[in-house]
Chain A
Amino acid sequence: MKTLLKNCKVFGKPDADKIYIEDDKFAAPFDEKNADKIIDLKGATVVPGLVDMHCHLREPGGEYKETIATGTASAAKGGYTSICPMPNTNPVADNAAVISGIIKKAKEAGNCRVYPIGAATKGIDGEQISEMGLMKEAGIVAVSDDGHPIKNAGIMRKVMEYSSDFDLPVLNHCEDKSLSEGAMNEGDISTEIGIRGIPTASEDIMISRDIILSEYLDIPVHICHVSTKGGVRMIREAKARGVKVTCETCPHYFTLTDKYCENYDTNFKMHPPLRTEEHRLAIIEGLKDGTIDVIATDNAPHHQDEKDCEFAVALNGILGFETAFALGYTYLVKTGEITLDRLIDLMCYAPSKILSLGRGSLEEGEDADLAAFDLDNEFTFDKESMLSKSRNTPYDGWKLYGETVLTIMGGKTTYEKLQ
């Protein structure tokens, strides 16, 4: 089976205007008349398939919000070909059996390469380290207790030490829960609307602890979804000292602030919470100067009933797959903050490298994973067009650039929107 993509721009290859695929690999150029399938991309830009190192697919246990099949279809629509679901499912993904089940379902769905993240502690309760080695044999690429930060520094140390035996990176959601019983960022907006606040100190304290442990143990640590100026500053300083710390942020932390919570709209409620403009600008600085390694989505589907309620009662999190690239392109590249090269590094090469996934090549002989985006025409994002089972996006009606027109994973079309 030979597929030819024509009439495209190719990321990193200014002279190319075609992509050749044979079966599941990128291939050497062949004559157009030998192609079994020809796709005219009408000037869209082809980039390596995106990699999301932080998302939630909800299966097993939360199928009413999202299934592995619908979640991966949603990811493919966003241009992702590789994604890493977090282990806070029900049952928790803290053993090889659950991990194998997730991988099997993902293969059946065939929309994305799914590299699960295993729980760092059993039941993500922060007390006993999980069976990381056996989970690695089953296919995990990292460990994390995402959403349930490991509060005991002694346990965190053991998680870091033990996981290093298996070369499994530790990804930590940094939040000192004793400081964060609120539902949004602590500041003048939370005070004005009477919602309990979560101070930036809650995040910064745990980031500082993890940096100190990483430096002391000389073991890498990856900080999830950084949202604060202080977090960016500490990670920048730690990197300059040679500490093996990496980190990610999410599109909402460089596009939104706590001002959006003013009307109690629960689609702006997530952990960590949206911060102030000062912090949003610091995140952009971190993306520009390389302090922040990765843009992840923290894609978090929730049912309408879990969001259509009182603000403090609503669950945390928003959908991210189907808007991440367009937000990055519109608010970072179009604005001149970073280059497209840097965006692809943040959304593909860097996460692939941190997790040793070996993704991100458009070269002959490599797995044919790619996404094509229309970078020239504005589109209006419509939540009713989403492939997720859920609709909890704050970006409904936003005008963006970078609509996905085609996603191919292993030579197979997983999403296509071509007129």
Chain B
Amino acid sequence: MGLKSKDLLGMKQLTAEEIMEILDTAKTMKLVISSGNKKTSHLQGKSVVTLFYENSTRTRLSFELASKYMGSASANITTSGSSVNKGESLLDTARTIDMMGTDIIIMRHSQSGAPHFIAPHLKASVVNAGDGMDEHPTQALLDMLTMYERFDTFEGKNIAICGDIYHSRVVRSNAIGLSKLGAKVSVYGPRTMMPVGIEKMGIRVASSVADCIKDADAVMGLRVQLERQQKSLFPSVAEYAHFYAITPEMLELAKPDAFLMHPGPCNHGVELPTAVYDCDQSVINEQVTNGVAVRMAVLYLLMARRNNL
């Protein structure tokens, strides 16, 4: 039991078996969350630090609650800016946290590859909570848990993802993880937000929102950062909502029992009309609960590996 690697850097580094082990463990953890007494001793006597160089509400809070539900000592560092303009290098900061006896460092950073860079230098396990445009593995795992609760298997399932594909680490992690389990991922978004060569990742690039969603088993909307408008990636919110939003009509093209996901935070009326956000098919609120469960599972399995060594 436990993960093969010291760190969880991305879905790239996980095998299909490890992903399933995390999902199965998370199902158990969900029982802890729904019980009246949210307390286990899996991380008793251990310490977990969240080191966030970017803003976050749900990811940071869910990691923090996950570690507290399992009895660890936890601390949070929130900082902004890159290592360069902050004065202390990322590696020095990480080593400092490491040397305080930290078992697991959960890091979010604006630079792709930042956790890959520090991990080999540290005794602590590093969990990637989002690195630039690279990966956000625990988001993909919670999305997959949400699907797993509804699917008997991932094999052959169609997953549609619409929105800003270029900047999305959520897409990359989901595409890698879902492909490993045999699901088929289709993506669509404005061409200005479609990265070159993404089809090489085993993803189908759809020709429209309708084409992307047609016959999907699950549909995922992505947050569009409104400031991208200033960089000429789309002309206006109104135009984006008109051509690229997941409307109720579009959702009808999916399979009858398909469900709708969104990693949040959502721009209501931009990528999703509020009516869609709140519709019966929406599982967006459940994703949040699953976020805590999956992070408990990840912390538990990383710690199990540390205890076994």
Contact = CB atoms under 8 A, between A and B. Distances in A.
Interface of A: 186-197, 199, 263-264, 305, 308-313
A310 B195 contact: no
Contacts of A193: 112-113, 134
A195 B91 CA distance: 20
Contact of A312 (B90, B112, B135, B172): B112
Given A194-B132, A309-B83, A188 B200 contact: yes
Contacts of A309: 83-84, 89-91, 117
Contact of B83 (A190, A192, A196, A313): A313
A71 to B, nearest CB: 25
Given A192-B200, A312-B132, 18 more contacts: A188-B197, A188-B200, A188-B201, A190-B196, A192-B172, A192-B201, A193-B112, A194-B131, A196-B133, A264-B113, A264-B116, A309-B83, A310-B82, A310-B109, A310-B113, A310-B117, A311-B117, A312-B113
Interface in B69-125: 82-84, 89-91, 109, 111-114, 116-117
A195 B197 contact: no
Interface string B173-198: 00000000000000000000001111
11 contacts: A187-B197, A188-B196, A188-B200, A191-B195, A191-B198, A264-B116, A308-B91, A309-B83, A309-B84, A310-B114, A312-B132
A311 B200 contact: no
A312 B111 contact: yes
A103 to B, nearest CB: 34
B113 A195 contact: yes
A194 B200 contact: no
Contacts of B135: 194
Contacts, number: 77
B132 A187 contact: no
A180 to B, nearest CB: 13
A264 B112 contact: yes
A197 B132 CA distance: 13
Contact of B196 (A191, A194, A311): A191
Interface in B26-70: none
Given A313-B82, A313-B83, A313-B84, A197 B196 contact: yes
Q: Which 6 A-B pairs have the closest CB atoms?
A: A188-B197, A194-B134, A264-B113, A194-B133, A310-B111, A188-B200
Contacts of B83: 309-310, 313
Contact of B111 (A186, A199, A263, A311): A311
Which of B112, B200, B201: most chain A CB closer than 10 A? B112
